[in-house]
Amino acid sequence: DGGITQSPKYLFRKEGQNVTLSCEQNLNHDAMYWYRQDPGQGLRLIYYSQIVNDFQKGDIAEGYSVSREKKESFPLTVTSAQKNPTAFYLCATGHPWDTEAFFGQGTRLTVV
């Protein structure tokens, strides 16, 4: 199937541990994005990448890190520096200068 795969769907971690969320796409899109959503809120941009080996901070990048070594993959690491990591994380893809964004089904991270 073509699309965006985020795994796992649910993730639990202890406070103080780093955790990496996976996002893989086979849509051949250049741009990839990570958003965070809190209950009853809209999406907020964490990081985005418009091309392999390049990425930029979004509005709430503190406590997060990313890499873009392959076009198909854009993993997000939630570090122990993120003060409130429990949230719903969404990965999206698109072309930098055209078309709409396509979203994965999200990963719900709970830190206890």
Query: Binding of another protein at residue 48 (CB under 8 A)?
Result: yes
Angle among Cα 63, 48, 12 to the nearest 5 degrees reads 45
Instruction: Please give the helix or strand (H or E) that residue 7 lies within, else none.
Output: strand 4-7
Query: Binding of another protein at residue 8 (CB under 8 A)?
Result: no
In the set 74, 94, 109, 111, which binds another protein (CB under 8 A)?
A: 94
In the set 46, 87, 92, 111, which binds another protein (CB under 8 A)?
A: 92
Amino acid at 64: Y
Interface residues toward another protein, by CB under 8 A: 4, 6, 31, 35, 40-45, 48, 50, 56, 58-59, 88, 90, 92, 94, 96-98, 100-106, 108
